[in-house]
């Protein structure tokens, strides 16, 4: 039995590698042929929002691709691209807007997202899982900010501050406490959901849910729903409510997932039994597809709720990123997966975070609600026919990882699947007394 299980695991591992290469190839096509705003050949031109340049970009003298890091990056801020409506109705004249960024451990997309937001003049609530990560992030964030201030004297005095919080996002009790803490900040404007392990061994959350699903999906959806429920119940006049930007990080590998009762809110007695229905690879893909489905459903909810109408929800596949997530997974072939060979198909998390920050701050995206972005390209606009005409979603190619569009359109664009997951999520949270039954229908 063990031999058979090992064979199945190896097959899934190599399918994961092949699928990842296909996703990376589609991503490179988009980056080189259709986006290209952060690459060296385009960085010397004057910035233009019409050409879809970003709020924060790499300066011409900065290294690029997979090699750029906190010690050698040189950034350029297009301050005129920032949506200043996010500065509306702050608590006092000297206040700055605040953002929540989960998963800010050093070396990942969340860390650089938090850094870019700080340098753009936004205070950041950064969420990490351990004391060791918290100390490392505090030190490296200060090093990075000091270096950019040396390079850009004009940024002095305009930079936000970092506030770090400990929270295990797989634990709903910890997430509830985090939400209560965040809600004491009256200047919250941005939420970036970027935390979560990648292809780690099957484990369980404190509540008995599959761990990757609990971290990527349950923790983030609970945090968002509690924050939005508080805004919905507030007595602030509707006309003075500021805009909120919500960005969820998904993945192109979600294309192969089709969530069901056993891969979502089923509470397992032990990890061994959960492993009979899930693997490190299917668990990750399932969690990322759930994030995408939830984001699409949530965007429909905020569109119809009067007090939430100035909120936007967007999903982002940040591209194949050379972060610590895969290195921390414990998968074999790390020399190849995280080495120089894999770097040919990967970008630095510095670059991936540029796309996240653009969704969070740019005037260009102020009306983008319910859109899925693959790096800097709005796939929801690019594939409009697939949204309105179900028959155009059919076919192997459109639902494969080679298709440079929304992952698994037969699943991701299905209103039925969105509604099923939304109802299951609300039911789980209400039954466990995590949100009030009247908060969301």
Closest alpha carbon to 34 in 379, 421, 389, 413: 379
Closest alpha carbon to 220 in 259, 248, 186: 248
Percent of the chain with pLDDT over 70: 92
End-to-end C-alpha distance for the chain, whole angstroms: 46
Q: Does the pLDDT at position 116 exceed 90? A: yes
List, in order, residues 6 or more apart from 381 with CB less than 8 Å away. Answer: 371
What's the CATH number of domain 96-432, 3.60.60.10, 3.40.50.720, 3.20.20.70, 3.30.1360.200?
3.40.50.720
- Identify the sign of the CA torsion 57, 149, 247, 135: positive
Question: pLDDT tens, 239-284?
Answer: 889 999 999 999 887 877 889 888 899 999 999 898 888 888 899 9
What is the structure's pLDDT at 39? 53
- Do residues 269 and 228 make contact, with C-beta atoms less than 8 angstroms apart? no
Q: How far is residue 432's CA from residue 306's CA, in Å, rounded to a whole number?
A: 27
What is the structure's pLDDT at 182? 98
- Do residues 351 and 64 make contact, with C-beta atoms less than 8 angstroms apart? yes
Q: Is 31 helix (H, G, I), strand (E, B) or coil?
A: helix
Q: How far is residue 122's CA from residue 115's CA, in Å, rounded to a whole number?
A: 10
Q: How far is residue 390's CA from residue 414's CA, in Å, rounded to a whole number?
A: 8
What is the structure's pLDDT at 12? 84
Q: How far is residue 363's CA from residue 97's CA, in Å, rounded to a whole number?
A: 15
For residues 9-40, one letter each, b for 16 or more C-beta atoms within 10 angstroms of the residue's C-beta and e for the rest, the string is: eeeebeebeebbebbbebbbebbeeebbbbee
- Mean pLDDT for 14-31 is 81
Beta strand pairing status for 311-317 and 123-128?
unpaired
Question: pLDDT tens, 192-225?
Answer: 999 988 888 899 999 999 999 999 999 999 999 9
Question: pLDDT tens, 25-73?
Answer: 888 777 777 665 555 556 677 887 877 889 998 888 887 777 788 888 9
Q: How many residues does the chain have?
A: 441
Question: pLDDT tens, 343-383?
Answer: 777 888 998 999 999 999 999 999 999 999 988 889 888 88
Q: 């894999």: which residue's tokens? A: 342
Q: Is 244 helix (H, G, I), strand (E, B) or coil?
A: strand
- Do residues 285 and 259 make contact, with C-beta atoms less than 8 angstroms apart? no
Percent of the chain with pLDDT over 90: 54
Question: pLDDT tens, 295-335?
Answer: 999 999 999 999 999 999 999 999 888 776 666 666 776 66
Give the CA distances from residue 308 to residues 38, 115, 236, 397, in Å, rounded to whole numbers and listed in that order: 33, 28, 12, 37
What is the structure's pLDDT at 347? 82
Containing 163, the helix (H) or strand (E) segment is strand 162-166
What six digits make up the tokens of 403?
């298709």
What is the structure's pLDDT at 382? 81
What is the structure's pLDDT at 2? 65
Q: How far is residue 283's CA from residue 291's CA, in Å, rounded to a whole number?
A: 12
Q: What is the DSSP-derived secondary structure letter of residue 101?
A: E
Domain ranges of the chain: 96-432
Confidence class of residue 389 from pLDDT cuts 50, 70 and 90?
confident
Calculate the average pLDDT of the chain: 88
Q: Does the pLDDT at position 135 exceed 60? A: yes
Q: How far is residue 6's CA from residue 27's CA, in Å, rounded to a whole number?
A: 31
Q: Does the pLDDT at position 20 exceed 60? A: yes
Closest alpha carbon to 224 in 301, 124, 163: 301
Q: How far is residue 189's CA from residue 86's CA, in Å, rounded to a whole number?
A: 6
Q: Which is more confidently placed, 413 or 270? A: 270
Question: pLDDT tens, 165-201?
Answer: 999 999 999 999 999 999 999 999 999 999 988 888 8
- Mean pLDDT for 232-245 is 91
């Amino acid at each position: 039995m063990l031999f058979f299980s090992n064979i199945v695991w190896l097959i899934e591992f190599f399918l994961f590698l092949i699928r990842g290469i296909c996703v990376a190839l589609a991503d490179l096509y988009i980056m080189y042929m259709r986006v290209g705003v952060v690459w060296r050949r385009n960085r010397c031109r004057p910035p233009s929002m019409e050409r879809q340049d970003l709020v924060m970009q790499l300066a011409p003298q900065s290294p690029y691709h997979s090699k750029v890091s906190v010690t050698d990056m040189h950034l350029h801020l297009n301050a005129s691209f920032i949506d200043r409506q996010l500065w509306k109705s702050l608590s006092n004249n000297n206040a700055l807007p605040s953002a929540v960024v989960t998963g800010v451990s050093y070396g990942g997309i969340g860390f650089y997202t938090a850094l870019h937001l700080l340098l753009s003049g936004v205070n950041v609530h950064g969420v990490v899982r351990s004391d060791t990560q918290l100390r490392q992030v505090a030190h490296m964030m200060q090093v990075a900010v000091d270096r950019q201030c040396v390079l850009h004297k004009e940024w002095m005095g305009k930079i936000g501050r970092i506030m770090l919080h400990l929270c295990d996002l797989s634990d709903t009790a910890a997430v509830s406490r985090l939400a209560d803490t965040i809600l004491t900040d009256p200047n919250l404007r941005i939420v970036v959901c970027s935390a979560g392990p990648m292809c780690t061994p099957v484990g369980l959350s404190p509540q008995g849910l599959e761990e990757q699903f609990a971290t990527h999906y349950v923790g983030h959806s609970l945090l968002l729903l509690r924050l939005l429920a508080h805004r919905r119940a507030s007595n602030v006049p509707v006309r003075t409510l500021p805009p909120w930007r919500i960005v969820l990080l998904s993945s192109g590998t979600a294309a192969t997932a089709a969530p069901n009762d056993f891969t979502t809110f089923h509470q397992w007695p032990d990890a061994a039994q959960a492993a009979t229905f899930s693997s490190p690879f299917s668990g990750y893909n399932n969690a990322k597809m759930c994030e995408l489905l939830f984001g699409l459903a949530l965007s429909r909810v905020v569109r119809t709720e009067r007090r939430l109408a100035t909120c936007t929800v967007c999903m982002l596949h940040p591209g194949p990123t050379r972060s610590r997530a895969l290195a921390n997974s414990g998968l074999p072939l790390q020399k190849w997966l995280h080495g120089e060979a894999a770097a040919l198909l990967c970008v630095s998390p510095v670059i991936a975070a540029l796309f996240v920050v653009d969704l969070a701050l740019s005037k260009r995206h102020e009306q983008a609600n319910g859109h899925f972005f693959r790096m800097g390209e709005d796939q929801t606009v690019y594939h409009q026919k697939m949204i309105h005409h179900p028959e155009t979603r059919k076919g192997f190619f459109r639902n494969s990882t080679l298709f440079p569009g929304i992952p698994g359109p037969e699943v991701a664009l299905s209103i039925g699947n969105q509604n099923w997951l939304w109802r299951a999520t609300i039911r789980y949270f209400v039954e466990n007394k995590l949100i009030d039954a009247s908060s969301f229908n």
